[in-house]
Each structure stands twice: as structure tokens, then as C-alpha cells.
Structure 1
Amino acid sequence: MAILKIARLGHPVLLAHAEEVPDPTAPEIQRLVSDMAETLVDAGGIGLAAPQVHVPLRLFLWRDGPSLRVLFNPVITPLEGGTEAAWEGCLSIPGLRGRVDRPARVAWSGLDETGAPVSGEAEGLSARVLQHENDHLDGVLYLSRMKDLTQLGFNEELARLAEDRA
């Protein structure tokens, strides 16, 4: 296993549409997943998409409670339940967070690490992470989802403001 270099804002791989994964069980794909898992843990993130590690394929990992899950060729569909605004960060945009509106509930489907079809529903933080990571597969960064750039700030400044308000 290896810790992979994370692409940062400005790199073209983050703006491209990723390609489908033809065989999730291929040894090179399984090695990529393993390396991505190690990279995600090392970076302290809750989600990581393949384009963020310079691989333009449609797969991402996310924390689902205490476990790490992988989803290949995902489809994310908003469900009824309105939208929620919440702060998001991104390993590809280090040090910043922004307030983003997203559907509060989603259905998801794709393939697991064995190539078997999987599906489910998510809400709250899990729904947000699934949508954020899936956006990476379409070349979309959370910054482009923001409606109000006054709701963007450096982590330290936002923490200081929160302390001042408490």
C-alpha cells in the first residue's frame, strides 16, 4: 500500500469527467482502492474520489460510520426531503470550508469491491459526502455549488469566529 499524492485546486484532473471502471475486481483497481484507503486515513478525510489522486475513474471511498466503503460507477439520486446547507471542506482544497446547499436525502447505487450491485439511501452527513465525492467524478468542486462566496473561509478564521460567538 502507498499514500498517494492528492490533486489540488487548479489541476485539470479535478475538472474532467471520469471514466467508468470496467472491472472493479482487476488487481490494479483493487490496489488503487487499497492505496486510496491508506491515503484517506492519512489525510484524515471522510471521503476520497479517484480523480483526487490523479486517476480519472468513477470510484470513491467514504466513511460509513466506523467502516470505509467503496463505490464504483455510482449513481446518486436526490430524494424528497428538501435541501440542507452545511459547511464542506475538501482534501483538494486544503484549509478552506464553504457553506453548500445539497439535497438532504439521496438514493445511491453502483458496484462494490467485488463487482456486485449495491444500493441504499443516505441522509445528513452521509448524503452530503456521497454527493460531494460523486461531484468529483463529474469534474465539479464544491466551490461551484456555493451560492454565496461570503460563506467561504479558512478553517482557522471560521473556528475563531465560532469561538467568539460561543
Structure 2
Amino acid sequence: MPNKLKIITQPNPILRKKSVKIDFKNIDAIKFRQLASALLNTMLKADGAGLAAPQIGQNIRLIAINTQNGSFCLINPKITKKSWAKIWDSEGCLSVPGVYGKVRRHKKITCSYLTENGQPKSITAEGLLARVIQHEIDHLDGILFIDKARNIEKQKTE
């Protein structure tokens, strides 16, 4: 598997499909690790804050997140707790290049997920990290940020 994969862009129909849960009993562990690694590398080379498997043509519940403390994958991520408070902030997306808009998201979330070894974990995030996780989980459900955004603007190219 190549180190960097092609990022699929809107209107590709895979971006609108609900992704399937990953079952560790029925996957090839080596191929899966290669895919997870390629997802991370693709995100980093594109200078992304996050990337979801559907964005590289894989209809599975896998996301990559880039934080100040490093990057990692979340398998079968599920938001288990959300703050009452929500905030509007600007978002963009590697699958909708050159488009930005304000999206209202929960200020703080807790997300359960599995590691690449199948171990259950949980992360509590707020601010930008919470926003990125919510954005990437939306991808797993066939939702793009433009579906929720207001004040959508296209970046002008010269």
C-alpha cells in the first residue's frame, strides 16, 4: 500500500455512505495496520488536522487525528458524552477543497474508540481537538461539514 493515498473529493458518492464498523475477528491485521499507517501519512502530508477512511475510499469506521502531542488512529469511534455548550467556528475539509464555513459543534466531548491493537480507550477533548473528532466522525456517517455550515465561502484562486 502506498505511503500517501489520493484524497477523494466531493461529489464522490463514497463520502455520503455510512461506514461499517471494524470487526477485529474478520480483518487481516497486517493489511489493516498498513491502511491505518497510510491514512496517518496521507493526513500529515496534506497538512490535515484529521482524516477519515471514507476520504481515501475505504468505507470503514477509522479516523486519523493530528494533535500537538502526535497523531493517532481511532477505530470505531463513538461520542459517549457531549457538553451542553456548543460553539461556532470556521471549518474546512480536504474533501471539499477551497471551501470554508462556520459550523456549530459541542465544545467538549468524550469519545470511546479502539486502538490499532483492538484495545478499548477513551479520550476527552475540547476546543479544536473536540471539533476535529466530531468533524471526522461525521465523515463516517456520510455527513460533510458543508451540510451543517453557515456563511460558506469559496477561497479565491488567482
TM-score, scaled relative to structure 2 = 0.92
Paired residues for 1:2-151 under 5 Å: 2-23=3-24, 26-146=29-149, 148=150, 151=151
AA matched with 2:57: H
Confirm or deny: 8 A CA contact 2:65 2:73 kept in the other structure. yes
| Partners of 2:81 and 2:89 in 1: CA distance | 16
Look up the SS of the partner of 1:52 in the other structure: helix
- Residue 81 of structure 1 and its aligned partner are, at CA, apart by 4.1
Q: What is aligned with 1:152?
A: 152
Note the alpha carbon deviations across 1:30-58, whole angstroms, 9 max, x for none.
Answer: 00011111111111101000000000000
Greater Cα offset, 134-143 or 70-79: 70-79
Look up the SS of the partner of 1:127 in the other structure: helix
- Residue 154 of structure 1 and its aligned partner are, at CA, apart by 2.4
| Partners of 1:131 and 1:6 in 2: CA distance | 19
Note the alpha carbon deviations across 1:44-102, whole angstroms, 9 max, x for none.
Answer: 10100000000000010001223001100010134234100000010000111110001
| Partners of 2:84 and 2:125 in 1: CA distance | 11
TM-score, scaled relative to structure 1 = 0.87
Confirm or deny: 8 A CA contact 2:44 2:66 kept in the other structure. no
- Residue 156 of structure 1 and its aligned partner are, at CA, apart by 4.7
Greater helix content:
1
Structure 1's unaligned 5+ residue stretches are: 158-166
Structure 2's unaligned 5+ residue stretches are: none
| Partners of 1:144 and 1:51 in 2: CA distance | 16
Note the alpha carbon deviations across 1:107-150, whole angstroms, 9 max, x for none.
Answer: 1001011110000211000000000000000000001112x3xx
Q: Could you say if the C-alpha distance between residues 36 and 101 of structure 1 is closer, same or farther in structure 2, counting changes exceeding 3 Å?
A: same
| 4+ residue runs over 2 A deviation | 77-81, 154-157
| Partners of 1:84 and 1:135 in 2: CA distance | 17
Q: What is aligned with 1:160?
A: none
AA matched with 1:74: P
| Partners of 1:15 and 1:77 in 2: CA distance | 23
